[in-house]
Amino acid sequence: MNPTYVSCVDQINLLDVTADVDWLTITTKTNKGRERLFTEAAAILETIRPNAIVKKWAFRGYAGWICESARWGTRPDSDIMVVSGHDAHATWRRLLPLAENVSRLDLACTCKLFYPWPKLAKICFDFVMGIIDFKERRLYSHVENSRIGDTLYIGSRSSPQFGRFYDKGVESKTAAPGHIWRYEIEFKEHRARALGKELQKILGENPEWNTLLLPAMIAKTVRLWYRSRGVETLYTIEAKPLLSDISARITSDDIILEWLSTQVAPSVQGLVDREKTDAVLIALGLDWLLQGAAAPEVAEV
């Protein structure tokens, strides 16, 4: 690994790490679902933004209102609710259980540093360009300007998953360069639906996870997503990721092992519990273990 890159990650002292849902777009089509969403949207206006200005909002045939970073709209076939930023942090646990469909769901992990470390996104970009295949380089880009600061983009905005690692302090105009860094992942389409269902399940079965385990699971998901794309995160965490499949691009042995333990192991354990051990070994090409034979020799290249 690039010594400069390692020295950055190893030397940075973190003041705080927070993880949360940063964007949620949900829709409802049934009469009951639309009524519940309308009621909850009105309650959010009253409790979260009681004195804020409410304006008219139109989006893809929906007509409704927008207040700060919360929007609600209706059209003949469905109703929609969109929350982002602080409004997403404050309301997504209330809104997600009402969703009949989730079309976008963003995860974010924000790292505050004791001492500023500018241009980390550029350092990460330069490092990744040196380890990935040439054909994958088009998925990575770096932008730096006075408006958004230092930013690394991974993937395409039109794809089901898209990552941004950027200087949040500069982007939000709340800190000098290098003080606050954020990892974001934007999930859409089937990725958003899968993540939404998993979070709905957790909220329904384990409401006590809201304050402790859920942020850790979000942080773990973000870390695994970035590491599998060659970007080391500033933090480490032991937790179960929310998704069992995040299309990881495996780049090293330690990432392969982490991917196996967090994403493959639960499914394998389920098969073993159902007495499918032999089938698992055969599927993995390890059927030689069934005969108690020694591992086959690997031919030298």
Residue range 170-181, pLDDT digits in tens: 999 999 999 999
| CA distances for 116 relative to 62, 110, 178, 181, angstroms | 43, 14, 4, 10
56-60, 145-149, 189-193: the lowest-pLDDT one: 145-149
Long-range Cβ pairs for the range 42-46 (8 Å, 24+):
44/70, 44/87, 44/91, 44/94, 45/70
Q: Would you state the pLDDT for residue 50? A: 84
Interval 41-66 mean pLDDT: 93
Interval 136-157 mean pLDDT: 89
Model confidence at 5: pLDDT above 90: no
DSSP string spanning 19-41? EEEEEEEEEE-SHHHHHHHHHHH
Terminal C-alpha separation, the chain = 24
Interval 27-42 mean pLDDT: 97
Model confidence at 224: pLDDT above 60: yes
Please provide the average confidence, as pLDDT, over all residues in the chain: 86
Interval 3-30 mean pLDDT: 82
Q: Would you state the pLDDT for residue 255? A: 54
- The pLDDT tens digits for 235-290 are 999 888 998 676 555 455 555 565 566 556 777 777 788 888 888 777 777 776 77
**Cα separation of 40 and 47, whole Å?**
10
The reply to whether the predicted model has a pTM over 0.85 is: no
Interval 48-69 mean pLDDT: 93
Nearest to 129 by CA among 148, 154, 157: 154
Q: Would you state the pLDDT for residue 299? A: 45
Confidence of residue 294 (pLDDT cuts 50, 70, 90): low
Q: Would you state the pLDDT for residue 267? A: 72
Model confidence at 298: pLDDT above 50: no
24-28, 73-77, 219-223, 236-240: the lowest-pLDDT one: 236-240
